[in-house]
Structure 1
Amino acid sequence: MTPRIRTLVGLALCWGAAAQAQVADSELLRCASLSDPAARLACFDELAAGAKVRQTPQGRSAAIVAAFGAPTAADQTQSIDSEIEGLVEGWGPNTQFRLKNGQVWRVSDNSSATLYLKSPKVTVRRGALGSFLLEFEGSKETARVRRVQ
């Protein structure tokens, strides 16, 4: 298909959409111009009856659809504080940390660091794009982690 034909087809499609919009606009203007309130309402009702209504997908409740994309209660927590019992000498890729609260977090990137911290207090906080960061008290080092358990 030549570029000229593609352009003509695109213009024809745009004109068709514009023509449909103009018909709808002209019908709305016709209804709006009626002076009798009952006749005007009947005209708008007739237009609305012909409009397509988007239905909720079957099998999904209205509550699920309404809550889609909204943050859940668990998502509102921005960070947790805990402690790692014992000596922490650092980490490398896939190193796992067991927190005092029972959670297990694994380093999720290729970062590494050398530390010497005895039973450090730690904070796991939310990072960008759904990631999590493990921060150690007494150190500037931060590990990008994901929860394993």
Structure 2
Amino acid sequence: MFRPTPTLAGLCLLVAALPAQAKDKPLDGPPPAVFQAVVDCKALSDPAARLACYDKAVSAMDAARTAKELVVTDRATVREAKRGLFGLSLPSIKLFGGGDNDDDEVKEIESKISAIRMASDGFPVFTLEDGARWKQTDGRNTFPKAGQKIRIRKASLGSYVASIDGQPGVRVIRQAN
């Protein structure tokens, strides 16, 4: 039975909420108008006018956030979302930044195995502490056990390699939860 993780479910809701015309709008372009209005207030020299401008702009920004027309997040939340989505094939969108200079790109994860089951082809499927499932696709027998540490890293040609308790790595693929 398919059970989405909270991170995956949140991402799906966020992507579904994006307007259709946003697919052509680059995320590294100008900021939303409601945010730009706050920034524009600092150019006012009269303190009373600047304060009135800030009050009006911040109220509009808060209303947009409450109506879910504006999403506010921080880098730590983006990193955690990327970590939760590590290994999944997603459409190429710049929802979490990205591009050539993506300092927050997740290249490996470390976790513990919480459960193991054998697939019909005899290879193990590891369930990690966060609920992510990874299936071994080739290599030697790993004889994994629940509670063991696992390190999964990106490898060549879009593949992934898992090392269990420091053993030599085996190829794995992320499975949809």
TM-score range, shorter chain: 0.3 to 0.5
Structure having the higher Rg = 1
Larger fraction in strand: 1
Superposition TM-score, scaled by structure 2 size: 0.37
| Greater RCO (Cα-Cα under 8 Å, separation 6 or more) | 2
Superposition TM-score, scaled by structure 1 size: 0.43
